[in-house]
Amino acid sequence: MNIIEKMLRENTGAHFLDSGSAYGRNHERNQSRKFKSEPAATADFKYGVEVTVNLYHWLADRVTFAPNLDKRFQRFCAREEHANESYFALVGMWLASLDGVTGLYGEGSPMTVNTYNGEDLLSQTIQYTYFTLDHTSYILLQIHGGADVRGGYTVPRVFEVSESIFDNARASIYCSGDRDACGAYWDTDDTCHWYREGSCGLGAGTQLEAYDRTSEEKGETWEAGKLHVLADRSALCPCCGSPLKPGMFPGG
């Protein structure tokens, strides 16, 4: 089992004020999942254009475990004088103890991101502190394994990353038909606007969410120029009628 799978299954505890006893906690639901065989992204066109990006695949595409730095951090946390400190505090304290730590592009200070606080397509919330050390970018990553997003995060682990770690609001939807005949695709960078071939503005083409719709549940059939929603909440390409498929925006 790799480190990402372990974090996704890590028991992050429970609080009597959260809703986990009624609806389940993320780490509980993850125990029996086969992450590697799951699709990288899923789409639901029932009420709009809703894409969910599988956190396992998204992280596997973007992060590389940094065992040497991680050992240094875990040893720092294990010191007796740190027994009553939160992991959030320990992350800041450890980074402050290192020489040469900077922020994005080797400038400024480390930055902490919680994906719940902004536009996000990931299947679970993550929290991370991004920093640069010796010209290499890293994050101290925590995965939300609880129910209430205010608590229930995993132990921070250190990973090497690129700037694609900030792409949690990006995804693609593409026509699965003959690319020579159609090749249509739409990208988003804000979770709600789906731009034809990633372009916006004059002459850019119709955004996917702006198409008129037909519905299989209403007995309607596909029409050129309309987004046809099937009973299983998938959809057909408004350009050629082939199935539309969601895709995770590639890291790098």
- Each domain of the chain, given as residue ranges in start order, spans 63-166, 171-248
Please check whether residue 14 is in contact with residue 20, taking contact to mean a CB–CB distance below 8 angstroms.
yes
Residue-wise pLDDT for 32-49, tens only, equals: 999 999 999 999 999 999
When pLDDT is averaged across residues 215-220 and rounded to a whole number, the result is 97
Helix/strand/coil for 236? strand
Strand blocks (E) in 96-135: 111-114, 126-133
* Phi, psi (rounded to 5 degrees) for 30: -85, -10
The residue among 25, 172, 142 whose CA lies nearest residue 73 is 142
Residues 80-108, mean pLDDT to the nearest whole number: 95
Nearest to 117 by CA among 129, 106, 109, 125: 125
Where does the pLDDT of residue 22 fall: very low under 50, low under 70, confident under 90, or very high at 90 and above?
A: very low
How far apart, in whole angstroms, are the C-alpha atoms of residue 211 and residue 196?
12
pLDDT at 29 over 50: yes
Main-chain dihedrals φ then ψ at residue 228, nearest 5 degrees: -100, 120
State residue 169's pLDDT score: 97
SS3 helix, strand, coil % of the chain, rounded to 5?
25, 25, 50
Q: Examine the pLDDT at 61 and tell me if it is beyond 60.
A: yes
Residue 102 buriedness (CB in 10 A; 0-12 / 13-18 / 19+): middle
Positive or negative, the CA dihedral 108, 109, 113, 117 is: negative
Task: Return the structure tokens found at 233.
Answer: 């909440």
The Cα 153–Cα 142 span in angstroms is: 6
H-assigned helices in the chain: 3-9, 20-23, 26-29, 55-60, 67-77, 87-97
Count of C-beta atoms within a 10 Å radius of residue 214: 18
What does pTM read for this prediction? 0.93
Contact 70, 76 (CB under 8 A): no
